[in-house]
Structure 1
Amino acid sequence: MQERSKEIQEKLAAMRGWLQQSGAAMLRLRGTDWFAWATAGGSNTVLLAAETGVAEIAVTPGHAYVLTDEIEAQRLQDEEVPAGCYEWHVAPWAEPQARRAFCAELAAGGTVLSDRPAAGEQSLEQDMLRQRYCLLDSEIVRYREVGLLAAQAMTEVMQAARPGWTEFALAGAGAEAMWARGLHPTLTLVANERRLPIYRHATPTREKLGRRAMLVFCARGYGLYANLTRFVHFAGAPDQPDFPALLEIEAAGLAACRPGVPLSDVYATLEQAYCRHGFSDGIRRHHQGGICGYLSRELVATPATDAPLAAKMAVAFNPSLPGIKLEDTFLIHDDGLENLTMDPDWPTVEHAGRQRALPLQTEAS
């Protein structure tokens, strides 16, 4: 808790710097992403699919509050927010106007900045968003934990999978493995043998897996997202002749992920790599990923995303060809990339100086 309290104080200083820079009177953070960031890994989530939670953060030059209601306050104080970092405004759940009145009093007619602005409020500036993308050392420690847990959950499930399972069953087992490790299963995609060549975003169905299957995780822990994709090949699965080309395409994109390089340049590098290997429209078939952290994709790489990469940013790219995809979450360092989502027990091949995930081969039939 002491490390988290120290991190929160550093972030409160940053938030008050934003207020001073912008001339705003108050900052309101409503999203699950920003709540986790502002509380050093706390969660305001009850409904997993919601973008906002059961509490928010309000910061002025002189005060910093958690705003919530009587249903949630005690649990949040006991389990989610370190003591002594924030004041608390707790309103009756049936009187939402009490929170609005309190915030109006805090703002005293001044400008209010928000991640999800209501009427009369202003959006956060890009510089404020980008500051979040660069992780503190304490955040990196948590991210490494989340990445390894997600990768271990993936290994456990794919080792247990069988050709007769449905896609629903594989997705459910993945969600169970994530929950068992304290991770939110915010996304589980599954494609079986038939659907793999057709769909890049394959949501699960009742179809059986067949001879091969893909499983995709977006696993959230401490508010941080670990994104990874893996394949399992059962007895009789066909070879994937395009896999070496995909390794080369991914390697080109990852090599471009260096401090100071605009995200749009990484996109251009991937586009050129697709063309070089004979897939001229490959980049159009699926987004390629981008910066990640407190969102599964903080910023997606496109030809227009000129935000520069920096050390201590996390990225997750997912280049794909029909029936195959590669994806891990990497941390950018000054001297290279660190893979946050590689389980040592998963089969790999060394390519371009990195261990890359192979399909898990099993004789199950």
Structure 2
Amino acid sequence: MSPNEEAKNEIDRKISIVRKILKANNLSAVRLRGVDWFAWATAGASNVVLLTTDVGIAEVIISADEAFVLTDSIEAERLEEEEIKGSYPIWKAAWQEPQQREAFVRELTHAGTVASDMPRDQELPLPKELREAKCILQPGEVDRYRTLCQEAAMAMTETLKDACQSWTGFELAARGSAALWSRGIHPALTLVGDERRLPLYRHATASADTLGDRAMLVFCARRHGLFANLTRFIYFRDPTARELRMKHDLAAIEAEIFDASRPGVSLGQIYETMRTSYAKFGYPGEIDKHHQGGTCGYLSREEVARPASENRIQAGMALAWNPSLIGCKIEDTVLVTDKGLEILTIDPAWPTFYAEDRMRPDYLVRT
């Protein structure tokens, strides 16, 4: 089966899911405007022009008997040739006349009730069952995700193996972004913690400070709408005994989180596992210093785990947990399967150490 045929089959399955939900909720149509939802509905096509926007230059509308990509005359030809490739008919209007799109939607839906991921005017939010369906990855999505995560991990290795102590955080972020772009991956986030700022900030954005003796690089890397999330550390000296102990303690905390990440377990239950585990290993209160991650996929985090989180893990979901201590963090993107967790963001060239029953990313030490 050709890639276009596989994409068409995936899209057909998703349109079928949407139409069942439309019927169950007495809806005339859904409008999917967000970058994440557009990619989901189109088997990985992109409506992104401005990288930092949540809403792209086109949307998908699905009714009981029709489905279209809606855009304007600026974007239609490129979308057809490079992104949509015949998987949806494209409706377009002059960019100067956005009211034409709204008139078309009213006609298509017979002025009925419409739901949207980004509702406007009289539109309703998307039904919960559709939001849940987006988080369960289909086989084609899993294949795209595996490839993305492997390549993002390779970009991370390439960047940090070339890094120098004298680089600024800006330079490391730029090199990381270039390594991602060269693989067709959007650098949605590149955090850099340098020697001075690592102990101070859990979300250290890139700065003009030089890296110094050690640095952290974080990627949230997007392609086909999916996000690969990972964190790695480089040392230009030998780690201290305290740093090594914290690395192993954090991996042990993560191992308990991984063991709890099973189908049927709620995110709130996972949060409680995290809280207990931090205290067990001698770090009470550290859970309050930073969010701990959650489900991911078409967002870097679909839902962050909190004490009251009721949504449950299911096979086919992706997770990105990111437990942290002062100056220390561990993070990878994993897939939940009926047989356990599959770690996706792996580059065999990166050094690892054994933690419980898994190999985990070590510090890259270059002395």
1:82 to 64, 71, 85: 85
Aligned residues: 362
CA contact (8 A) 2:226 2:299 kept: yes
Q: In the aligned structure 2, how far is the partner of 1:264 from the partner of 1:254?
A: 14
Partner of 1:234: 236
Paired residue type of 1:221 = R
- Structure 1 residue 159 corresponds to structure 2 residue 161: yes
Tell me the SS of whatever aligns to 1:89. strand
Please say which of residues 210-219 and 255-264 is displaced more in the overlay.
255-264
Partner of 1:16: 19
Paired residue type of 1:305 = S
Q: In the aligned structure 2, how far is the partner of 1:291 from the partner of 1:245?
A: 23
Tell me the SS of whatever aligns to 1:275. helix
- Structure 1 residue 295 corresponds to structure 2 residue 299: yes
Paired residue type of 2:103 = A
- Structure 1 residue 311 corresponds to structure 2 residue 306: no
- Structure 1 residue 339 corresponds to structure 2 residue 335: no
Structure 1, unmatched stretches of 5+, are none
Q: In the aligned structure 2, how far is the partner of 1:329 from the partner of 1:350?
A: 18
The percent identity for this pair of structures is 48
1:201 to 189, 200, 203: 203
- CA separation of 1:308/1:236 partners in 2, compared to 1, >3 Å: closer, same or farther? closer
Please say which of residues 236-245 and 174-183 is displaced more in the overlay.
236-245
- Structure 1 residue 258 corresponds to structure 2 residue 275: no
2:182 to 161, 180, 183: 180
Q: CA deviation at 1:235?
A: 2.7
Partner of 1:51: 54
Please say which of residues 89-98 and 100-109 is displaced more in the overlay.
100-109
1:282 to 282, 286, 296: 286
CA contact (8 A) 1:286 1:320 kept: yes
1:94 to 93, 96, 110: 96
CA contact (8 A) 1:211 1:236 kept: no
Q: In the aligned structure 2, how far is the partner of 1:147 from the partner of 1:251?
A: 20
CA contact (8 A) 1:287 1:300 kept: yes
Paired residue type of 1:225 = F
Q: In the aligned structure 1, how far is the partner of 2:22 from the partner of 2:83?
A: 25
- Structure 1 residue 320 corresponds to structure 2 residue 307: no
- Structure 1 residue 329 corresponds to structure 2 residue 315: no
Runs of 4+ in 1 over 2 A off after TM superposition: 235-239
2:68 to 65, 69, 77: 65
1:119 to 118, 121, 139: 121
Partner of 1:142: 144
Paired residue type of 1:123 = P
1:34 to 33, 37, 51: 37
Cα deviation code 1:156-184 (max 9, x no counterpart):
00000010000000001001100000000
Q: TM-score, normalised by structure 1?
A: 0.98
Partner of 2:216: 214
Paired residue type of 1:361 = V
Q: CA deviation at 1:123?
A: 0.1
Q: In the aligned structure 1, how far is the partner of 2:361 from the partner of 2:324?
A: 14
Paired residue type of 1:19 = L
Paired residue type of 1:70 = S
Paired residue type of 2:136 = C
Tell me the SS of whatever aligns to 1:328. coil
Q: In the aligned structure 2, how far is the partner of 1:38 from the partner of 1:75?
A: 18
Paired residue type of 1:33 = D
Q: In the aligned structure 2, how far is the partner of 1:244 from the partner of 1:185?
A: 29
Cα deviation code 1:206-256 (max 9, x no counterpart):
000000000000000110000000000003554403111111111111110
CA contact (8 A) 2:248 2:355 kept: no
Q: In the aligned structure 1, how far is the partner of 2:136 from the partner of 2:358?
A: 23
CA contact (8 A) 1:29 1:56 kept: yes
Q: In the aligned structure 2, how far is the partner of 1:189 from the partner of 1:150?
A: 14
CA contact (8 A) 1:115 1:123 kept: yes
CA contact (8 A) 1:63 1:87 kept: no
Tell me the SS of whatever aligns to 1:251. helix
CA contact (8 A) 1:4 1:82 kept: no
Partner of 2:133: 131
